[in-house]
Structure 1
Amino acid sequence: MFSGTTFYLLHQITTLLLEPVVWALLIFLALALYECGLAIGEKAGGIRRLKQQGRKVLMRAGKRRIERADFITRLSPMLGLMGTLIPLGPGLSALGEGDFAILTTAMIAAFDTTVVGLLAGMIGFVLGRLRRRWYDAALESLVLRGDKPHG
């Protein structure tokens, strides 16, 4: 089937991925929290100011901000799943050897990365839905008012 070298190489690659995955998850969580602050600003008057600049500006800004929220929504759970699966290999191996300390550490890392990935994804999802609603309403109000596109 596969040689021992193939499995060894595969294991080394996945082991090297754990730390970057954890850092990426922390960055995505920070980005999600930053986007929450931006959303508060949007709701508090940012969208109104964009509307004053015209439909094109509003559409461009809305599209970009919704895409960022969608990016967080999609990638965070994927990274969380990677962070779950990567430590499970060594954890299960440690279970076979009776080393419960390594198993415990692996399980904690697996559950923590899952939770952080899902949390960031949920924040991104909620922000994306809210922003879609806000920007759609702003565009609709421009159309109903009969504003001519400019900007």
Structure 2
Amino acid sequence: MIIHGFTLGILHQVVGWLLYPVIAALGLALLLTLWELGTALAERSLTLARLRRGEVAHFEGYAQRRLERADLLARSGPILGLMGTLIPLGPGLSALGSGNLDILATALTVAFDTTVIGLLVGLLAYLIGRVRRRWYEETWRAMTVIADGV
């Protein structure tokens, strides 16, 4: 029974240590998503027109890297948001049991804020990925028309 309690204490401590790295990763994911949004807008107005005249092999690798980044952000944002939701709920519910509503309120605020940010990252990255896929398909078709005509 002592090992069981000791193990749960260690597990709880490790999970508690994860909160700040998760919040930092969520902030980084939000910044990367905003960066990708700006990159996508610049790409639409400048880069894709130049790429249409380039090599097909170069474009394929370029498009794959860009789409992988958007897909990674679309999946990791909600995961980080969920982690940021669940981690503070343990201490929050524990505080509720002891009647400390201030700790519970703080834990719930962190939980809801990280959920919203995670979902925002996921939504924006998903939209960026979908729009980019359409742009890349249009560019690919134009490149193959040019390549077939030459």
- Confirm or deny a common fold (TM above 0.5): yes
Alpha-carbon separation, structure 1, partners of 2:109 and 2:24:
16
**Cα shift at 1:52:** 1.7
Unaligned 5+ segments in structure 1 are: none
Corresponding residue for 1:62? 63
Where do 4+ consecutive residues of structure 1 move more than 2 Å?
A: 144-149
The answer on 1:23 being equivalent to 2:24 is yes
Which digits, 9 at most, give the CA deviation of each residue in 1:47-75, with x for residues without a partner?
11122222111111111001000000011
Structure 1 residue matching 2:52: 3-state secondary structure: helix
Structure 1 residue matching 2:18: 3-state secondary structure: helix
Equivalent residue letter for 2:130: R
Corresponding residue for 1:92? 93
Which digits, 9 at most, give the CA deviation of each residue in 1:70-126, with x for residues without a partner?
000011100100000000000000001110000000000000000000001111100
Check the 8 A contact 2:81/2:115 in 1, yes or no: yes
Alpha-carbon separation, structure 2, partners of 1:59 and 1:133:
14
Check the 8 A contact 2:74/2:124 in 1, yes or no: yes
The share of aligned pairs that are identical, in percent, is 47
Corresponding residue for 1:37? 38
Check the 8 A contact 2:70/2:126 in 1, yes or no: yes
Unaligned 5+ segments in structure 2 are: none
Compute the TM-score of the two structures, normalised by the length of structure 1: 0.94
Alpha-carbon separation, structure 2, partners of 1:147 and 1:117:
44
Compute the TM-score of the two structures, normalised by the length of structure 2: 0.95
**Cα shift at 1:146:** 3.3
Alpha-carbon separation, structure 2, partners of 1:105 and 1:50:
50
